[in-house]
């Protein structure tokens, strides 16, 4: 009898939830159910998240950029924005779906940061710049990496914080309703190091990179963060710059099904495994904090393995905009340079100008991250698993 009553109650509640969801779908075309969940977004990272800091940071170091000319930004904005792609980034799609404005770049924005700030800078590393320069990585005459590492970005956030909230209670409330993105971090550390070191040597850096990311998460939690998204790294073995850098690799070093370099992808898998282990420890240490792992590796591999499924061309590892080379990529001719060529339909390509994806690629990755965010929030609020026989008295 109790079982029947419980099932009837579940059916009534599920019907209510169904009609509620249908009503929300009519009111909003967004994928996000609760637009009021977060009041702001704060982002740290590299070019996968940079919404416009690159031109400022590079100019300060007398490093030329082509990102402020066409074809950058053409697909969505209609003009360059400082993003290293043809349109929107993962962060842009997530902000849209969560009912928030695009996250303004902290170095290039003169307005309010009440709805969030983006500290990510293209080329940023996890480890401090001195770590690489002391080891002559990648070597003269390169100025990279610049002084824009994870710790530097955290310092920028700390300096901005007093303008966001005053008292401890005010900061607790404000930052408690903010969503923090920690990365992606790691790709630049590894790609720069691969210019001097073997894959095995670079692999030894992974624990230090993970430790630095974990320490940064702890710092944000102390500041008041309660919702964090921590992305893993991409499959570097499928990245055109890495494929070009190791063009002399033996045939046995490639995956015959994808054309990607196995060892470099395994490096990414190792990073992501250690990162997820670290996040599990952080969740146990901070049970009141939601820490979401965002998978960057798997969706990129899905698109590489099945290009037609996503509307991409068969030669999936070719970049849309670049210089002459096997993958239409040339390290000495950047997209936007006079010698570069751009494809007519960026939407048919996965890679835009090298390591960076096109807008359709970022959109697919963003869909997966949004699902992970929503699932984590549902789990933390106890919205899963309640309508089962485990809740029925015997």
Catalytic residue positions, numbered? 47, 353, 356
In SS3 terms, the chain reads as CHHHHHHHHHHHHHHHHHHHHHHHHHHCCCCCCCCCCCCEEEEECCCCCCCCCHHHHHHHCCCCCCCCCCCCCCCCCCCCCCCCCCCCCHHHHHHHHCCCCCCCECCCCCCCCCCEEECCCCCCCCCCHHHHHCCCCCCCCCCCCCCCCHHHHHHHHHHHHHHHCCCHHHHHHHHHCEEEEECCCCHHHHHHHCCCCCHHHHHCCHHHHHHHHHHHHHHHHHHCCCEEEEECCCCHHHCHHHHHHCCCCCHHHECCCCCCEHHHHHHHHHHHHHHHHHHHHHHHHCCCCEEEEECCHHHHHHHHHCHHHHCCCCCCCCECEECCCCCCCECCECCCCCCCEECCCHHHCCECCCCCECHHHHHHHHHHHHHHHHHHHHHHCCCCCCCCHHHCCC
């Amino acid at each position: 009898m109790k079982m029947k009553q419980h099932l009837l109650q579940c059916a009534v509640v599920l019907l209510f939830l169904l009609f509620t969801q249908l009503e929300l779908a009519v009111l909003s075309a967004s994928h996000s159910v609760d637009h009021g969940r977060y009041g702001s977004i704060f982002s740290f990272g590299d070019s996968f998240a940079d919404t416009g800091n690159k031109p400022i940071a590079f100019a300060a170091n007398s490093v030329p950029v082509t990102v402020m000319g066409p074809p950058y930004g053409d697909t969505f904005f209609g003009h360059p924005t400082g993003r290293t792609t043809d349109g929107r980034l993962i962060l842009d799609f997530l902000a849209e779906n969560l009912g928030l404005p695009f996250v303004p770049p902290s170095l290039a924005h003169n307005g309010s940061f009440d709805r969030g700030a983006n500290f990510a800078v293209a080329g940023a590393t996890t480890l401090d710049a001195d770590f690489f320069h002391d080891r002559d990585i990648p070597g003269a005459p390169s100025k990279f990496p610049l002084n824009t590492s994870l710790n530097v970005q955290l310092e920028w956030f700390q300096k901005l914080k007093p303008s966001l909230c005053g008292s401890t209670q005010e900061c607790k409330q404000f930052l408690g309703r903010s969503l923090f993105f920690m990365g992606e971090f790691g790709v630049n550390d590894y790609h720069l190091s691969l210019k001097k070191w073997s894959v095995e040597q670079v692999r030894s850096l992974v624990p230090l990179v993970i430790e630095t990311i974990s320490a940064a998460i702890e710092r944000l939690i102390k500041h008041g963060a309660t919702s964090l998204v921590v992305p893993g790294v991409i499959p570097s073995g499928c990245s055109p710059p890495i494929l070009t850098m190791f063009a002399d690799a033996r045939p046995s070093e490639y995956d015959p099904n994808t054309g990607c370099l196995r060892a470099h992808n395994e490096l990414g898998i190792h990073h992501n495994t250690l990162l997820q282990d670290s996040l599990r420890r952080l969740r146990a240490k901070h049970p009141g904090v939601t820490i979401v792992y965002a998978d960057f590796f798997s969706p990129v591999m899905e698109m590489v393995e099945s290009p037609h499924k996503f509307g991409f061309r068969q030669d999936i590892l070719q970049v849309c905009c670049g210089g002459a080379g096997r993958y239409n990529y040339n390290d000495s001719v950047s997209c936007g340079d006079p010698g570069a060529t751009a494809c007519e339909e960026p939407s048919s390509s996965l890679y835009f100008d090298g390591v960076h994806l096109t807008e359709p690629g970022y959109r697919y990755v963003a869909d997966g991250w949004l699902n992970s965010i929503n699932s984590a929030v549902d789990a933390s609020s106890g919205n899963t698993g309640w309508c089962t026989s485990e809740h029925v008295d015997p």
